[in-house]
Structure formats: structure tokens, C-alpha cells
Amino acid sequence: MTVIKVKTGEGTSFVNITGQVRQVVRTSGVKSGICLVYVPHTTACVFINEGADPDVMKDIAYALEKVIPWRDRYAHAEGNSAAHIRSALIGNSRVVPIEEGDLLLGTWEAIFLAEFDGPRERKVVIKVLKEE
């Protein structure tokens, strides 16, 4: 298991962690298997989407704000319910296949850590499992 630390910006931010995850996979020496990427935080999540055009992340943030607005009639006293809901819906882990010692991502795909109540320093747990 490897744990990497990621600093996030104010409010909602998306951090491309593909390079760090890829480095962990290469260092592991596993040629074929799976890579688990897990975020142990309740206002953060991890997902895979386009890494080429930063406007895609802007649009995802825009759409999340429309669907799950920051201010609404939430009960949670901490005042960050929207961050919890966005994190719960997107999910706190992803699994990526490993082939030929590398992540089997699509051409335009990247792995993102998203934080919805930043700034924070977040942990990302990476587990590389070898196929028997």
C-alpha cells in the first residue's frame, strides 16, 4: 500500500493525480493486475475523466453546483453538506486495470481527486494487486 498526500485549493478543486498513481504502479513491478485508488475523506472523492481540456473540470464543477447547490436547506450543522453529498454520489474509490506494467487508461482519461470543501491536505491510498 502507498499513501500519497494531495493539497487542494479553496472550495471545489480537482487535482490530476494520474502521474503519481502511474509512478506507484511502475515502482511496484506488477505487469498485470489492478490498481485501487481510494480516498478516506468525506468531502473528497476520486473519479476518472478527461484530463486534456481543463474546461471539462470547470463544467463538472458547474453542473455539480446546479444539481447540488452549496446553499440549501441542509440539516448538517457543519455547513458543508453539499460537499458530503457530492462526495457520496461520485464515490471514494476507483479500480483501474494494469497491463504491461502501466495503467490501462483511455487516451483522454486521467484520475482526479476532487475536494469540495477545501483547502485541505488529503490522503490517497493506492493498492496494487498482481493478477495470478
User: Which residue's CB is nearer to Zn ion, number 1 or number 77?
Assistant: 77
User: Which residue's CB is nearer to Zn ion, number 6 or number 44?
Assistant: 44
Nearest CA to 126 among 30, 53, 60?
30
The answer to whether the CB of 12 falls within 8 A of the CB of 115 is: yes
Number of C-beta neighbours around residue 98 at 10 A = 22
User: Which residue's CB is nearer to Zn ion, number 16 or number 80?
Assistant: 80
Least Å distance, CB 107 to Zn ion, is: 37
Least Å distance, CB 43 to Zn ion, is: 7
The answer to whether the CB of 40 falls within 8 A of the CB of 123 is: yes
Least Å distance, CB 84 to Zn ion, is: 6
Least Å distance, CB 117 to Zn ion, is: 7
User: Which residue's CB is nearer to Zn ion, number 40 or number 54?
Assistant: 40
The answer to whether the CB of 44 falls within 8 A of the CB of 92 is: yes
- Inter-CA distances, 16 with 33, 73, 77, 79, Å: 22, 32, 31, 27
Residues that bind Zn ion (CB under 5 A): 78, 80
